[in-house]
Amino acid sequence: MKYQLLIKKIFPLFIVAISLTSLNLQAAIFITPKQPAISAASYVLLDYNSGVTIASNKPHEKHAPASLTKLMTAYVVFQLITDGRASLEDDVKISEKAWKTMGSKSFVEVGKTIKLKILLKGMIIQSGNDAAVALAEHIAGTEGTFTAYMNEYALGLGMHNTRFENASGLDLNDQHTTASDMAKLAAATIRDFPEFYPWYSEKEFTYHDIKQRNRNKLLWSDNTVDGLKTGFTDKAGYNLVASANRMGMRLISVVLGSSGVKERTSQTQKILDYGFRFFETKNIGNISQSVPIASSTKDTLKVGLKNSKAITLARGKYKLSQQAIELNAGLSAPIKKGESVGNLVIKFEGKTIAKLPLVALEDAAEAGFFSQIWSWIMSLLGF
């Protein structure tokens, strides 16, 4: 048997039974709109805080990553700096291989020594392939060894459909990723390295008096966008991983295999606008509610969420939702603080839209034998 307790004090919400005067209005609010038509080979739209994928098409299809590869190159370097194995002030000597690397350049010179911070910002902001190779060689000795680090971190982040073969993103036969995997990497970058993430929003990079602009055009046209990375090769097409923060909601979009710079920008803008317009993130705080507890020295037990949780819902849906606590069947003392006791269930129109695990917020000792007998007698008498 499950106890169900309506929670009216936890959230200042309306109940589902509130009637709307127009069925058309209700449909307009609560029927999730069709995903927009996105002109790209593959895409994903992810709610950063809840981890919910709002929209996608072929999210696990493999594609050449192009310069999106540099997101992982940077991630590895960030991690080693955090671990104390590298420093922003490291002197990095530029090899002939790094200097000769084709494609976009930070215009580093062979034999010169450059601070790691300058190379890192050049790779992130201006997408220098030469900077990427120089960083890889400095960290691991060779670019090949560095890619082993990249693939190890990719597996650790759950990027199971990704393989890196170089640090720059230049096309190689077995280098590939997916929209889903790139969304995971972008989320990890934002989460794990908040001190470095602002670099992805910088619009220009200057080295040797050569000023180059960030290729993410959304940084100029949408002030809620603060990252992350573009990419292009003939094999990959035009790629863009972006993130935007509006009204306390952060979304991450990945568009792979678009047909041009304007197209990857406009299609990214379209999918981001769709997510912000029709969805919202709700953070469920650290609630505390007393529930009945059997066979205990106390009559009630305080329960709640171990940590706050974020959920993603269609806009307006949460206001008319209903929250209830469902306790585990046969719940009785003894119970230790932190032990699972049931779920907070959020429903809309009778359908469960979220189920969040609840834990005991305190210990509940088991009552003695005679106390339990007395409680049983009193319950029979209706007390």
Is residue 67 part of the annotated active site? The answer reads yes
Round to whole Å and give the CA distance between 342 and 211: 58
Mark whether 302 and 188 lie in a shared domain: no
Residue 34 covered by a domain: no
pLDDT of 302 above 60: yes
Whether residue 248 sits in one domain with residue 134: yes
Distance CA(251)–CA(309), nearest Å, equals 16
Which residues have C-beta within 8 Å of that of residue 92, sequence separation ≥ 6?
A: 113, 114, 115, 116, 119, 134, 135, 138
So what's the pLDDT on residue 7? 39
What is the pLDDT at residue 383? Answer: 54
| Sequence-ordered strand ranges (E) for 200-299 | 204-207, 210-213, 225-233, 237-246, 249-258, 279-284, 289-292
Q: What is the dihedral of CA 216, 219, 240, 224, to 10 degrees?
A: 170
Tens-digit pLDDT profile for residues 256-293: 999 999 999 999 999 999 999 999 999 988 777 888 88
* Residue 319 shares a structural domain with residue 227: no
Looking at residue 67, what is its pLDDT?
A: 98
Cα 373-375-376 angle, rounded to 5 deg: 65
pLDDT of residue 77: 98
Considering the candidates 42, 50, 56, 70, report the single residue annotated as catalytic: 70
pLDDT value of residue 8: 35
In percent, the amount of the chain with pLDDT more than 90 equals: 68
**Active-site hit among 42, 50, 56, 67:** 67
Same domain, 328 and 344: yes
pTM to 2 decimals? 0.84
Domain of 146, in residue numbers? 42-278
Q: Out of 127, 253, 258, 296, which one is annotated catalytic?
A: 127
Instruction: State yes or no: is 375 an active-site residue.
Output: no
DSSP 3-state of 42? strand
User: Is there a single domain that holds both residue 228 and residue 260?
Assistant: yes
Query: How many domains does one find in the chain?
Result: 2
CATH number, residue 357: 2.60.410.10
Report whether pLDDT(27) > 50: no
Same domain for 295 and 213: no
Q: How confident is the model at residue 4 (pLDDT cuts 50, 70, 90)?
A: very low
270 and 363, same domain (yes or no): no
Check whether 169 has a pLDDT greater than 90.
Answer: yes
Check pLDDT > 80 for residue 239.
yes
Let me know whether 121 and 246 are in one domain. yes
Residue after which a domain boundary falls, among 255, 278, 301: 278
